[in-house]
């Protein structure tokens, strides 16, 4: 093996290892139901740097008549009841996480709740398998989402864009929860 090759090899190794330093991560066990359909999965959060959070969602069991777009948010409280029914169990998570008292929007909107992640895409087999990043919500600092709840809804989020519905700028009219879970420490 030539010296040049080794130099290049170790340079690439050094660059790739310091590009993203994962400073913190969190894990959510997602569970719920829509009628008789049992929904389950998980969400992984990785804080790639101080203003870049990567979110990886893996959910299965969503009935094919729902979707293909379903509202997905961080809600304020990490409190879930013991109800067997997700619509009931996830309710105590409260409203969209909104520490800066903003109005509802999409993940890419300049004005949005900190917990607004827009819609997730449901595959034809009733699964969600999606990775995205966000620069607003964070596992760090005074507005950390750790210990709060991620919540999947039964309908598409209107992203605050429906002028004929007063709830549009409050919650995006995405209907009842069908699955949720508390964002837990993953050391
Ligand atoms: Cu929600
Ligand atoms: Zn919202």
Q: For the chain, which residues make up each domain, given as ranges?
A: 21-185
Note the ligand closest to the C-alpha atom of 91: 1
Q: What pLDDT was estimated at residue 4?
A: 64
Note the ligand closest to the C-alpha atom of 156: 1
- What's the mean pLDDT in 169-181? 97
Q: What pLDDT was estimated at residue 23?
A: 77
- What's the mean pLDDT in 161-186? 96
- What's the mean pLDDT in 79-83? 96
How far away, in angstroms, is 186 Cα from ligand 1 center?
A: 23
Residue 168 in contact with residue 156, Cβ under 8 Å? no
Q: What pLDDT was estimated at residue 19?
A: 57
Note the ligand closest to the C-alpha atom of 178: 1
Note the ligand closest to the C-alpha atom of 137: 2
Note the ligand closest to the C-alpha atom of 170: 2
Q: With the C-alpha atoms ordered 125, 131, 134, 139, is the resulting torsion angle positive or negative?
A: positive
- Other beta carbons less than 10 A from residue 48's beta carbon: 16
Residue 59 has pLDDT above 60, yes or no: yes
pLDDT tens per residue across span 119-133: 999 999 999 999 999
CA angle 56, 59, 62 (to 5 degrees): 145
Note the ligand closest to the C-alpha atom of 150: 1
How far away, in angstroms, is 172 Cα from ligand 1 center?
A: 8
Residue 38's pLDDT band, with cuts at 50, 70 and 90, is: very high
Q: What pLDDT was estimated at residue 64?
A: 86
Q: Return d(Cα 177, Cα 140) in angstroms, integer.
A: 26
Q: CB neighbours of 77 closer than 8 A, spacing ≥ 6?
A: 92, 93, 94, 148, 149
Q: What pLDDT was estimated at residue 21?
A: 63
Q: What pLDDT was estimated at residue 3?
A: 58
Per-chain residues with Cβ under 5 A from ion ligand 2: 96, 104, 113, 116
Per-chain residues with Cβ under 5 A from ion ligand 1: 73, 151
Residue 183 has pLDDT above 80, yes or no: yes
Q: Return d(Cα 17, Cα 23) in angstroms, integer.
A: 13
Q: Return d(Cα 33, Cα 90) in angstroms, integer.
A: 11
Farthest CA pair distance, the chain = 69
Q: What is the CATH number of domain 21-185?
A: 2.60.40.200
How far away, in angstroms, is 154 Cα from ligand 2 center?
A: 15
How far away, in angstroms, is 187 Cα from ligand 1 center?
A: 26
pTM above 0.95, yes or no: no
Residue 13 has pLDDT above 60, yes or no: no
Q: What pLDDT was estimated at residue 159?
A: 98
Give Cα separations from 74 to 4, 11, 28, 94 (angstroms).
49, 39, 11, 10
């Amino acid at each position: 093996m030539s010296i040049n090759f080794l130099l290049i090899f170790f340079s690439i190794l050094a660059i790739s290892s310091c590009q993203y330093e994962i400073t913190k991560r969190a894990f959510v066990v997602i569970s719920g139901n829509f009628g008789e359909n049992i929904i389950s999965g998980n969400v992984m959060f990785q804080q790639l740097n101080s203003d870049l959070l990567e979110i990886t969602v893996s959910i299965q069991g969503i009935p094919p008549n729902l979707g293909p777009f379903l509202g997905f948010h961080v809600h304020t409280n990490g409190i879930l009841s013991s109800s067997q029914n997700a619509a009931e169990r996830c309710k105590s998570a409260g409203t969209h996480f909104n520490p800066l008292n903003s109005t509802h929007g999409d993940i890419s909107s300049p004005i949005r709740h900190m917990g607004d992640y827009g819609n997730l895409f449901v595959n034809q087999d009733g699964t969600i398998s999606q990775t995205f990043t966000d620069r607003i919500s964070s596992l760090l600092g005074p507005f950390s989402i750790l210990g709060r709840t991620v919540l999947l809804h039964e309908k598409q989020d209107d992203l605050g864009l429906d002028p004929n519905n007063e709830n549009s700028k409050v919650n995006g009219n995405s209907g009842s929860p069908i699955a949720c879970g508390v964002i837990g420490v993953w050391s």
